[in-house]
Structure 1
Amino acid sequence: MALRLVQANIKARDDSALGRFWAQALGWGTSSSGAGATAVVPTGFVWTDPDAPVCIDCIAVPDPETVRYRAHLDLATTSAAHQADLVARLLELGATPADIGQGDVPWTVLADPEGNVFCVLEPREIYRDTGPIAAVVVDCADPRALAEFWGEATGWTVHEVTDDFATLRSARGGGPFLELLRSPGVRTARHRVHLDVVPYRGDDQASEVARLLSLGATLADVGQGNVSWTCLADPEGNEFCVLAPG
């Protein structure tokens, strides 16, 4: 039993506008499942495909927080010229430079039009086949322990783990990495960006939720009400949702 990481869920004041930004940023398209929800997906995306890439779901909420977030996206590039061109294009689309104390680094830190911080990485061989999203990065206090949880939750392979950093990726190959970065003063407030996972076809949502609880997850109430998904938090309090399989 395992779960598929299906999307990064980003809260937004204007889901349509934010979805358009990310679609143009990634070279993807948008679709809507109803008012207040805009999905950003590549051409030919099929929700139930076990090898489908990790996508973005922009969800409208009344008052998104403007604090530093515990999760962000890293975008991949293939050359120095590609990185420079992508940064220039993102700025034209409405992104802004962001200073999070990164200092002199080879990657570029930006914020999308709603203030969500993300990074445009310099070319790295490890991300050569990830697609436009190189990694989903989550701040945490203990990367080793959290890698154990997420490895068990998703069945992903742990590629590197230290006291400061851990990286996991689907054993099926392709798609982004899940990276866990030790960060001082990790926030415990509600998160602006979280992960959505879904059982593979034929697996049971309730059974998967029970399995996650046995691994150390806890039930989370984010005001979701009566919905088809289950909101949980990982052992460090990072919220995520277990969606119903399609």
Structure 2
Amino acid sequence: MTLSLGPLIVAAADPAAVERFWRTALGPDAFRDRLRIRQDREPKVVKNRVHPDLYVNEIAPLLALGATVLAEYPEWTTLADVEGNEFCAFPSATDIDSPARLFAVCTDSDRPEELASWWAERVGGNLRAGPDGTLRWLYDTAGWDGVVWKFVRNSDERVAPNRWRWSVLGAGFVDPQGNEVSAAR
């Protein structure tokens, strides 16, 4: 069975502010195709287990939209949006029209190879090696054209539902590692 991935569902205490940030950051068309913002009364309490990776020409436009720098690394910068949701910004090799372009979705897991393999069976695509040589990056999935799904090794205990989650066309469910999957609309 091949499922098709839908947009990322983003929980927000202030949906209008989060939507304004991401619509401007990605551009209206990419925002409409890739994200859905929903109201959540619970505040963000821990690091997100799911976050986007973006290509950028520079980070200044994102800072002007309200992003804050969390950490700087030689190859990328970790930022937070207007509600503290983490995302990573990588310099783009080519000029992009909007402040940012989504190129990957990262999902934390203590067993990333297992979870990547499980999802590969459901959404198709090509399972490839991450930087450590293990098969945990998923390319060419149904529904996420041009977006890599990176399963990132992280043993942090799950203490709250994911504020960012992916969706699938059809009915929602929970994967083997407890990630909630919403039905795309």
Identify the TM-score tier after normalising by the shorter chain: 0.7 to 0.9
Once superposed, what is the RMSD of the aligned Cα atoms?
2.5
Q: Deviations over 1:69-126 (max 9, x none)?
A: 100000024xxxx2x2xx1000001111114xxx63320111000010001013369x
* Structure 2 residue 112 is matched with structure 1 residue 177: no
What is the distance in 2 between the residues matched to 1:197 and 1:124?
30
Structure-2 change in CA distance of 1:63 and 1:185 (3 Å): closer
Superposed counterparts of 1:133-148, under 5 Å: 133-148=102-117
* 1:159–1:167 CA contact under 8 A, matched in 2: yes
What is the distance in 1 between the residues matched to 2:25 and 2:141?
27
Q: 1:233 aligns with which of 168, 171, 174?
A: 174
What is the distance in 2 between the residues matched to 1:243 and 1:58?
12
| TM-score normalized by the length of structure 2 | 0.85
Corresponding position of 1:111: 80
What is the distance in 2 between the residues matched to 1:59 and 1:88?
27
Letter in 2 for 1:95: A
Letter in 2 for 1:241: S
Q: 1:168 aligns with which of 138, 145, 156?
A: 138
- Of all paired residues, the percent bearing the same amino acid is 31
Superposed counterparts of 1:76-115, under 5 Å: 76-77=55-56, 82=57, 84=58, 87-99=59-71, 104-115=73-84
* 1:164–1:181 CA contact under 8 A, matched in 2: no
Between the two proteins, the alignment pairs up a number of residues equal to: 178
Corresponding position of 1:189: 160
* 2:9–2:182 CA contact under 8 A, matched in 1: no
Corresponding position of 1:210: none
What is the distance in 2 between the residues matched to 1:165 and 1:72?
19
Letter in 2 for 1:236: Q
Corresponding position of 2:22: 22
Gaps of 5+ in 2: 95-99
Structure 1 moving runs of 4+ over 6 Å: none
* 2:44–2:84 CA contact under 8 A, matched in 1: no
Structure-2 change in CA distance of 1:177 and 1:124 (3 Å): farther
What is the distance in 1 between the residues matched to 2:107 and 2:166?
10
